[in-house]
Amino acid sequence: MAPTRKAKIKAGGGAAPSSSAAGAHKSKAGAGTGFAKADWKEGFRKKQAGVSDMTLLSTISNDAVNDNLKKRFENAEIYTYIGHVLISVNPFRMLPIYTDDVLHSYRGKNRLEMAPHVYAIAESAYYHMISYKENQCVIISGESGAGKTEAAKRIMQYIAAVAGGQGIDGVKEMVLATNPLLESFGCAKTLRNNNSSRHGKYLEIEFDDHGGPVGAVITNYLLEKNRVTGQINSERNFHIFYQLTKGASAAQRDAYGLQGPEAYAYTSKSKCLEVPGINDVQDWADTLKAMDVIGITKQEQDDMLRQLAAILWIGNVQFGVADDGNAFVQDQTVTEFVAYLLEVDAALVNKALTSRVMETQRGGRRGSVYEVPLNPAQASSVRDALAKAIYNNLFDWIVERVNKSMRAKAPTSHIIGVLDIYGFEIFDTNQFEQLCINYVNEKLQQIFIQLTLKTEQEEYVREQIKWTPIEYFNNKVVCDLIEEKRPPGVFAALNDACATAHADPTAADGSFVQRLGGVSSPQFESRGSKFLVRHYAGDVMYTVAGMTDKNKDVLLKDLLDLIASSKNLFLQGLFPDRPDPDSKKRPPTASDKIKASANALVEKLMRSQPSYIRTIKPNQNKSPTEYDSKAILHQIKYLGLQENIRVRRAGFAYRNTFEKMVERFYLLSPATSYAGDYIWQGDSTSGCERILRDTGIAKEEWQMGTTKAFIKNPETLFALEHMRDRYWHNMASRIQRAWRGYLRYRNECARKIQRFWMNKKEGIALAALRDYGHQVLGGRKERRRFSLLSMRRFQGDYLGVSEAGPQGQSLRNSASIGSGEAVVFSARAQLLVSKLGRSSKPSPRYLILSDKAVYILITQVVNGRASTSLERKIPLVTIRSIGLSQLRDDWFAINAGITEEGDPLLHCYFKTEFVTHLMQRTNAAVQVLIGPTIAYAKKKDKQAQITFKKDESIRKDDVYKSSSVSVPSGEPASSQSRPPVQRKARAPRTFTSNREPRAPAAVKPMGRAAPQAQTLPSGGSSFVPAAPAVRAQAPAAPSTGRAAPLPPSRSAAPPPPPAAPEKEQWKALHNFETNQPGEMALKKDDVLDVVTKDDGGWWLVKKGGQEGWAPSNVSRKESQKKPQHWASTDPNVCDQQYLQLVPPKPRAAPAAPAAPVRRAPPIAPAAASSAPVVPVAQTAPSRAPAAPRAPTAHSVAADPNAAPVSVFGSGGPGGLAAILAAKRAAAENGGASSYDSPASSNGSTPANSRPGSGLGELNYLGCFGFAWSQTIART
């Protein structure tokens, strides 16, 4: 099955046509609308470096292309498109764009959906092979060091990752394993590239019908075998020699006499043994692993290593000059070891290297045989020829062995070829190797011209398509100049020179120069011993010297006889074919071989649909930041990027025959398809045109040729593919839509119940831990008012030490808390510190409790910077007791046994929570001592005591001075946490009904903070609800056509309502003048009705049909206008109240109410008479009870240095009142109750609201019951 292709078209472009006329009409409109909006271009409108597709350049020029590539290179965007051609600039560094996540993000995506990438080219080739059953090839071109090999590796990596099929893992591994193996034997360090490919490779990956790789074939081109025997300075031999000499095992070193690379002439003469970024030892291990994956046996590996060692030792053979001028071997031990490795006679080695057997011929018959001694220069040439021949044949054997292992074991349907070959080369001295390399690149450029430029224009003319012709340079004249025989080209002249003067290389070179004089071409110039060829990439001057000798490519008969005498069958197998001395046919030269292989390569590529990657080298220094604009401009010119852009802008992005278009897209028209079947009765030409019209594509976007249909922009093709992919999906969606609606309706109630439970289960666990804290104190210590709030939960880790935040991680590291140690409590605290000659003083600290120890951290300024460090660590097993006072203070002492530091005396607002967690972690093994004083060890053997006394002048917190703490009165010691308040009842809203219109809210005063409306807590069974207040309702909204709610059932008449209690009335004690909107001015003795009470001091009152806010007992900070008669010594608090309750008239006790009847709740409940909540006293336990299971809690930031009201209070911004208000609002809208997950606060309140100080709370069961009633009503 072909992979899914997706196109992001927002408005209707992806809708498949229906089989009905209406469906066809909608499809047409949708497709047209989707394309008209050009949604695919939105990816280019975002801020980016340059443009990702250079067909969108406003100016088409080489300079504009260069500038765009520079912008993207500097922004680490190395890939750019020119239509379907990918331009890659070598970054000379590893970028994070080749991860598995990035790879899979390109799977199934078309080119324009994602950013330019080599993975997109690989995906396009694979998709077209699967969908259109066509062979594909990826042609990678560019100069040496531009990143061709890396691009080829990424393509193979992608195909191996996305290709499917059974039993193909072995093929994938072998294909990927060819990279390290052939890189080791075929790549080397050059001046331009640390990993330069010194050979060409065409890898053909073979696939079955299902798109699974079943085999592969590698074709080798132009191995630079001269590198084996010599390199220029700062370059290296092939990587394999350095890997072998550095990474070989001890056994291999003994067997083959291996030493370091500095010991061999072939690896050390260039004075470059190390390369930055290359680890030869690690690469050697990868090479051996690749051999194992491919299936090369251990014996074959040993034979390969033996020949590599023989090559290195052959290079160490040195020749001396005898008296007669002939050469002799200086060190016989070297030749003897070479003979041992080659398994031949040592005397034969000496003879083959220092002499040559020549045979004369007479009249075509054999004549006399002579043995001619060689001089040292000739002997060195023979030695190097032997080494090069062994390595070249060994490389060919490796390629054949790899092909044998990767041979397809199943039928092959199609292939994807990846061509990685030499880039164009221009050196100071260009010889035969550069001529061959540049010739092959000319052939590849000719393919590019034919397939992207010439063929494009010729097809438009042939198909009678309107377009703008583009002029281009056809490099066929350069290819003919090199390879043609009539008239003779460069290769023909070279072969003739070798045939006429084969015995003397110098004479052959001279004959070659003479024959070059007869070559006539505007792309050629002969200049003495050199000649110039005007290639597409630039003018190259070639040197004639040595070309004829390299072109012969024939090993001396003496060396062939030497190899034939070897007892090593592997070595003999490397030279299977020996030239027949009696043959009249001239053996093929090197130029003949490269010409034949180049033409065969071109023939293979022409049978495939090509994709192009044009690589560019940004600089010659291999710098990741340098961008050489001049050098890149030259590459842009010879790659023909400007002409390519012009063709893409003038031509059509896609074309196909009418038959294939109809076969591919007949589903998109109701005239050609019904229920997936092809129903068109006309010819394919009219059918194709009907499909394109029915899909709603604009006429300017496509043209009908004589045999093919042409689509102008790629987004149009992607829209067609997207509609085709969605066709069957849309059919199935009709059934799925109905089923999903049923499931959604059926599961709505269950999901709501689950949602409420998930929100409350954490609060239940936290409340259980808080209640355990009450049991730990056992009714022996007065409590702070804010510790008893129903909203108060024991969160534990307030500093986030157990989380991944920066503050928590910093504290964790400072305390050296291990990863396996769980932190259950953390908060800011104060430690009582004694200083010499001064009284003790509280000092800020961080207090952390884990399951193993108590940590006290201190922050100090060191060298001008704040530094947090561990001051003390107290293991839990050493803690004997915790000392607390009986009052509402926040001091406690940790009795840690006899230590030099003594017992820490700490002040922490969360002391009850700390003690609770400590008891829980120690299984209540720590004794909790509560008394009028706290005794602690100030130092070892020095006991101290701190006393506590009540002082009502202290308004908040407590005050420490001289071993005494003054603290105001707190809540009774027997106090328990307040129960949640019942939430307001409201009418349940059905699943589909409209919302009831709300009555207009009273205008709150501007400029002052208004209190939040609170629901009074229930007082138990004696509580009598007040009668609902009658409030004006907003006029009914006009009917909108929706279903009205059903009338209530009248099966039974409801009983009469109970008598309404007498309303509370309040009398103003003072005048209150105000001009603020929402506030009500009062005069002394005014009688008022109170609508809403708030503990913050502001009440919502009603007088004569008007409502407004008035003070009941408010601080001066909250009032912008203070009465002149306020008399208070406290600058923040007014001691006199504004309103006084009017005593109600006595009346008879009401009769017992009748059984209540279920009725719709009122719009808004009226204020009820308050009934105080009487806390239930609890007997102090004899010992600490068992600890409940620790809940999972999220950390909440807290500041112990702030007043308690800022931590749990309601007056500060973001305090409890703000949280309660948010919770109340959420509850009124069907939200969570008081035990919901904590809501984050940004620390700010609205400017026109008053911070309330009331402790109104939400009832957990009431909220859950209300939510249940809502669910039942909706269901």
Q: How far apart are CA 236 and CA 227, in angstroms?
A: 8
The tokens for 1098 are: 């502001």
Annotated catalytic residue within 77, 123, 224, 425: 425
Q: Is the peptide bond before 487 cis (omega within 30 degrees of 0)?
A: yes
Annotated catalytic residue within 68, 141, 193, 335: 193
CA contacts within 13 A on the Cβ side of 311: 32
Of 952, 839, 826, give the one whose Cα is nearest residue 888. 952
Confirm if 884 and 784 have CB atoms less than 8 A apart: no
145 is catalytic: yes
DSSP type of residue 1038: P
Tell whether residue 21 is among the known ligand binding residues.
no
- H or E stretch at 1061: none
Three-state SS string over 694-739 comes to HCCCCHHHEEECCCEEEECCHHHHHHHHHHHHHHHHHHHHHHHHHH
Q: Which residue type, as a one-letter code, is found at position 669?
A: S
Tell whether residue 148 is among the known ligand binding residues.
yes
423 is catalytic: yes
- H or E stretch at 285: helix 280-294
Tell whether residue 146 is among the known ligand binding residues.
yes
Confirm if 329 and 317 have CB atoms less than 8 A apart: yes
Backbone phi, psi, residue 187, to 5°:
-120, 155
CB neighbours of 357 closer than 8 A, spacing ≥ 6?
A: 369, 370, 371, 372, 557, 558
Tell whether residue 43 is among the known ligand binding residues.
no
CA contacts within 13 A on the Cβ side of 1016: 20
The tokens for 10 are: 């927002």
Tell whether residue 712 is among the known ligand binding residues.
no
Tell whether residue 149 is among the known ligand binding residues.
yes
Residue 869 buriedness (CB in 10 A; 0-12 / 13-18 / 19+): exposed
326 is catalytic: no
- H or E stretch at 963: none
Confirm if 946 and 934 have CB atoms less than 8 A apart: yes
The tokens for 102 are: 């990035």
The tokens for 773 are: 């804290």
Please, what is the Cα angle at 1216 between 1211 and 1220, to 5 degrees? 120
Annotated catalytic residue within 149, 814, 850, 1074: 149
CB neighbours of 1240 closer than 8 A, spacing ≥ 6?
A: none
Residue linked to tokens 């470096």: 49
Residue 1035 buriedness (CB in 10 A; 0-12 / 13-18 / 19+): exposed
Residue linked to tokens 């009165």: 969
Please, what is the Cα angle at 50 between 47 and 52, to 5 degrees? 90
Confirm if 1212 and 1096 have CB atoms less than 8 A apart: no
Other beta carbons within 10 Å of 695: 26
871 is catalytic: no
Q: How far apart are CA 719 and CA 9, in angstroms?
A: 7
First-to-last alpha carbon distance for the chain, in angstroms, is 44
The tokens for 676 are: 């997936």
425 is catalytic: yes
Annotated catalytic residue within 197, 912, 1074, 1253: 197
Q: Which residue type, as a one-letter code, is found at position 774?
A: H
Annotated catalytic residue within 12, 13, 14, 145: 145
Using the CB atoms, write b or e for 744-762: b if 16+ within 10 Å. eeeeebeebeeebeebbeb
149 is catalytic: yes
Q: How far apart are CA 571 and CA 737, in angstroms?
A: 72
224 is catalytic: no
1107 is catalytic: no
Residue linked to tokens 């700062």: 234
Of 76, 81, 74, 117, give the one whose Cα is nearest residue 99. 117
The tokens for 479 are: 């290819």
Kindly list the strands in the beta sheet with 213-221, ordered across the sheet, starting from the edge strand earlier in the chain.
79-82, 85-89, 609-616, 136-141, 414-420, 200-207, 213-221
Residue linked to tokens 């002799």: 328
Tell whether residue 548 is among the known ligand binding residues.
no
Annotated catalytic residue within 68, 90, 135, 144: 144
Kindly list the catalytic residues: 144-145, 149, 193, 196-197, 423, 425
Binding residues: 142-149
Binding residues for ATP: 142-149
